[in-house]
Structure 1
Amino acid sequence: MTLPRKARPAVRPVGEDHRATPFELFFDLVYVFAITQLTGSMARERDAGGVLRGLLMLALLWGTWSGYTWLGNHSRADGGLLRGGMVVAMAAMFVVGLTIPEAWAGGPGALVLVGAYLLVRWVHLVVFAVAADGDTGLRRQIAITWLPMTASAALLVSGTLLGSWTQVLLFAAALVVDWAGIYLTARNGHWRLRSPAHMTERHGLFLILAIGESIVAVGAGAAGRPVSVALLLAAVLGIALAVCLWWLYFDVAAEAAERGLRGVRGERQVMLAVEGYTYGHFPMIAGILLTALGVEGVVAHAGGSAPLGVFSALALHGGVALYLVGHLLFRLRMRRTLGRRRLVAACAVLAAAPLAAVLPPPVGPAVVVAVLAVLIAVESTVTPREEGP
């Protein structure tokens, strides 16, 4: 019997077969905006420092998204207390996205960003603690998590006040303290994984959103440029590259990993999710972001007489190589085996970067797409679907 609206509980635990809710997809939209802002900032700076700062910011964003994914894995995110808390977090994360262009410039914008980021983290832990009512072990785990988070917050605020490269160093230290602290306290801890299906689906959906950024990059690079054969070729190659990135994850790897996660229980299952998904998916997301940056550079310079250049070539080839390395680490953790074919492909893509830098812009993505297409063809031919690549 359906409960009257007023009698419905503020927190509704999920079952083993729980899937992502439409509200969680809505929640992800603020992260799409923030990632677009990150890509735009790195494209404007076009140097190694800008890429480093962008990846640091991406790691901070990824940590908050992962936290809310675990929260949604514990209780339904589309109603009651969780929905209210996540709406507050959405507003705060949108402020983070708005202030990303000012994150490293000092001044009030950077302080606003850190303050909004910390609000996202605090709301998560408070709501999670309320949702864990009756689970003493989980509440203790959440209380412990405040320790590395508070230490990380102090480093972030200090870095914002000091500015320049000191800010970068302190932000990096804050990230290490936060991630290492949460990981170490999770071992032999009391986190709960109620739905493996939800965990795998949420990460897959975020990966799709990140790949969508590489498609957006095609449009950003083509903005204001007249249509030409070179521009159309670069755009088609950018779309083909996005399809390859999607295929490599979803055709086999995602299903095989979900079966592996379902095949274990208890603390081992929790740590498999923490290491394989919460931490293991970050190199893939970072690789996609760098790839999008490279694709934007390719499209923006298509048809010109100048070569692609070192920055865009390294972003494109390095991003795809990092994405493939992320797959290697993911498989190594989930299945305890090394994907040799993807390792060879990553090395081939990276080795082609110097050549792409000195040749016309479309050559770089054409080489990358060719390597990935061969990899996909080989895996589709020789790899049984039940084993994964």
Structure 2
Amino acid sequence: MTNENPTRMPAFRIRMTGRATEESHRVSSPLELLFDLTFVVAIAQISTQLAHKAESGDIVSGLGPYLMVFFAIWWAWMNFTWFASAYDTDDVPYRLTTLVQMAGVLVVAAGVPAAFDHQDFTAIVVGYLIMRVGLVSQWVRAAIEHPEGRTTALRYAIGITVVQVGWVSRLALPGDWGWWAFIVLAVLDLSVPLWAERTGMTSWHPHHIAERYGLFTIIVLGESVSAAAAGVQNGLASHGLGVELVTIAAIGLVLLFALWWLYFLEPAAEGLSIRRNRAFIWGYGHAFVFASLTAIGAGLEVAVQRAAANAETSDLAAEYAIAVPVAVFLLMLWLLHAPLVPVAVIRPLKTVIAVLLVLVLPLASPLIGLVGVTAGIAMVASALVAATLIDKRTGRGTES
């Protein structure tokens, strides 16, 4: 059992062994919550930069840097979270190695503008390297102190190190090779856990993991609220208070609230407890959930700026900047949870209908305008919440 109370002095050193998967009352530690705050900064940076690209009518050029930087942020958070779920000791060495990883996240955040504006990923790679140094040191410690999981831990340490050499080497490649190198290295990075855990699965805690993912979902939703607020602030500064601007901002809040509600309707913790073998699908697939929620924030900022006549993009582009990530979120939410539980809470037919409506609504823009489309998307998400609650209340079965 680790020391979860930040007001008490942590033990200087506790032997790192696999934590019990049935440990009661396992929740996120104060250190994990502090760690997450560094990701708030990084996510805010990429959301803002993507919004700026969209506002200038050049969103396509921003998608590449967005995906690359988001991968670094998401994958670093993933690695820390799953390691902590299995091996968190919360002693002094563990806290210090976590501090190293936090420093790496902030370096990544500092390098986001250069990545978007100049395709310069030097700071991103350096920050990623710092994070990996901290993580590898933790895996080496686990290998030394936990003989039963030594092979798996060493595989993690070796695999992460080898791939990290590739990421650093990528900086020396010609610009035309950048995308191909990124794809290859990202696949290799994603393959490390699959290879490492073939010799034995780490003792991650299903309820702890579900809570950690829920907290990260709240973080990206919070950044979406912040992005929309930034758009309102800029609009007020340039054109003053406008009905359309305020209306879109309010609609955006309703939309984000509905998406939050939908996410927490699905019982992920129980599903992970029953079907631990499907954790990779659920965990990896959340990249689309997190990325879509982050993109929704950028889309809402673009819509608010468009309403204030500060964006060069068209109404249709602003509407699809919201519609596409909302559709991805709704679809992935069902796809990821359906394999975990015998009965899916959100019915697949309703999900498909909601996705189609969200993607079609921008085509009605000439008739209902930007406000109408944004309101329509929020109404679809809200209707899906209501329909799901009715299904739960009436006890109607759903397809798995």
Counterpart check, 1:145 vs 2:126: no
Q: Give the alignment's TM-score, normalised by structure 1.
A: 0.87
Hey, what's the Cα distance between the residues in 2 that align with 1:111 and 1:314? Answer: 32
Task: State whether residues 139 and 156 of structure 2, in contact with CA within 8 Å, keep that contact through their aligned partners in structure 1.
Answer: no
Hey, what's the Cα distance between the residues in 1 that align with 2:137 and 2:65? Answer: 29
Helix, strand or coil at the partner of 1:362: helix
The CA deviation at 1:168 is: 2.7
Percent of matched pairs sharing the same residue: 24
Q: Structure 2 regions of 5+ residues with no counterpart?
A: none
Matched with 1:228 is: 242
Task: State whether residues 41 and 109 of structure 2, in contact with CA within 8 Å, keep that contact through their aligned partners in structure 1.
Answer: yes
Matched with 2:221 is: 211
Task: State whether residues 42 and 293 of structure 1, in contact with CA within 8 Å, keep that contact through their aligned partners in structure 2.
Answer: yes
Over 3 Å counting, the alpha-carbon distance change for 1:357 and 1:49 in structure 2 is: farther
Task: State whether residues 313 and 354 of structure 1, in contact with CA within 8 Å, keep that contact through their aligned partners in structure 2.
Answer: no
Hey, what's the Cα distance between the residues in 2 that align with 1:386 and 1:189? Answer: 42
Hey, what's the Cα distance between the residues in 1 that align with 2:314 and 2:10? Answer: 61
Structure 1: which amino acid aligns with 2:98?
A: M
Counterpart check, 1:20 vs 2:24: no
Task: State whether residues 231 and 304 of structure 2, in contact with CA within 8 Å, keep that contact through their aligned partners in structure 1.
Answer: yes
Over 3 Å counting, the alpha-carbon distance change for 1:310 and 1:329 in structure 2 is: same
Structure 2: which amino acid aligns with 1:335?
A: V
Pairing of 1:151-300 with structure 2 (within 5 A): 151-162=162-173, 164-186=175-197, 188-224=198-234, 225=236, 226-250=240-264, 252-253=265-266, 256-264=267-275, 269=276, 271-276=277-282, 278-300=283-305
Helix, strand or coil at the partner of 2:111: helix
Hey, what's the Cα distance between the residues in 2 that align with 1:37 and 1:242? Answer: 19
- Give CA deviations for 1:141-179 in whole Å, capped at 9, x if unaligned: 232234543453344334333354432332222111211
Over 3 Å counting, the alpha-carbon distance change for 1:326 and 1:163 in structure 2 is: farther
Q: CA-atom RMSD, angstroms?
A: 3.0
Over 3 Å counting, the alpha-carbon distance change for 1:6 and 1:261 in structure 2 is: closer
Larger deviation: 74-83 or 298-307?
298-307
Helix, strand or coil at the partner of 2:200: coil
Task: State whether residues 106 and 163 of structure 1, in contact with CA within 8 Å, keep that contact through their aligned partners in structure 2.
Answer: no
Match of 1:351 among 347, 355, 360: 360
Matched with 2:47 is: 39
Hey, what's the Cα distance between the residues in 2 that align with 1:354 and 1:7? Answer: 60
Task: State whether residues 255 and 382 of structure 2, in contact with CA within 8 Å, keep that contact through their aligned partners in structure 1.
Answer: no
Task: State whether residues 323 and 377 of structure 2, in contact with CA within 8 Å, keep that contact through their aligned partners in structure 1.
Answer: yes
Structure 2: which amino acid aligns with 1:290?
A: A
Task: State whether residues 145 and 185 of structure 1, in contact with CA within 8 Å, keep that contact through their aligned partners in structure 2.
Answer: yes
Structure 1: which amino acid aligns with 2:137?
A: V
Match of 1:341 among 326, 350, 365: 350
Larger deviation: 120-129 or 195-204?
120-129
Q: Structure 1 regions of 5+ residues with no counterpart?
A: none
Larger deviation: 6-15 or 137-146?
6-15
Over 3 Å counting, the alpha-carbon distance change for 1:358 and 1:221 in structure 2 is: farther
The CA deviation at 1:263 is: 2.9
The CA deviation at 1:241 is: 0.9
Helix, strand or coil at the partner of 2:172: helix
Matched with 2:384 is: 375
Hey, what's the Cα distance between the residues in 1 that align with 2:166 and 2:362? Answer: 36
Over 3 Å counting, the alpha-carbon distance change for 1:354 and 1:184 in structure 2 is: farther
